[in-house]
Amino acid sequence: MPVLTAKGLSKAYGASPLFQGLDLSIHRGERVALVGRNGAGKSTLAKILAGVESADAGEISVRRDAKVAYLSQEPRFPPESTALEIALSGLGEWRAAMARFEAIARELEKDGESPERLAAQSAAAAEIERLGGWDREHEARTTLRQLGIADPSRAVGTMSGGEQRRVAIAQILVGKPDLAILDEPTNH
């Protein structure tokens, strides 16, 4: 079953059509490249497939359980954010479960055990396991290092465009999407 299917997609700017009646399916594990001259609509199509922009006509369906990630040509992050914070931001559910677990641990330490707190902590721990386990931060650090970001605590505002792009790629890789749509990933 395809991760993403598009049927009859059309997009125009004014009277100039970029594409009309476009059909495509992307399956898990496939690598698809959009090749064309500047202004041909590659970035527009990528944005439409990622749900960032709307088509003029046609429909897109994404498999119900599929996670789609998108890397824009120029990723923007708060300049004071660290590379690790950005990489982990793709793990919103996991981070929320970790925060719940840690808050309950602080309550247990401060106020002592109770059946309700222990049950809540157990539920948070089960959620962390369901979302990939306890080593996700280590995975993020490793991914950043593999992409050439030696200091995960460095603010992205102090990084070159190419380094920022690698942080954005780490964010996508750490999130383990079923489909990653990358708009000019080697632009810098």
Q: Where are the domains of the chain?
A: 4-66, 70-91+135-178, 92-130
pLDDT, position 139: 92
- The pLDDT value given to residue 188: 56
- Report which residue type is found at 159: M
Residue 39 has pLDDT above 80, yes or no: yes
Give per-residue pLDDT as tens, 86-121.
Answer: 999 888 888 889 999 999 999 888 888 888 889 999
Q: What is the model's pLDDT at position 112?
A: 84
pLDDT at 1: 87
Q: pLDDT tens, 68-87?
A: 999 998 889 999 999 999 99
- Which pTM was predicted? 0.80
Instruction: Could you please state the CATH topology (level 3) that the domain comprising 4-66 is classified under.
Output: Rossmann fold (3.40.50)
Question: Is residue 11 pLDDT above 70, yes or no?
Answer: yes
Could you read off the pLDDT of 122-156 as tens digits, one per residue? 999 999 998 888 888 899 999 999 999 999 999 99
Q: Mean of the pLDDT values across residues 41-50?
A: 94
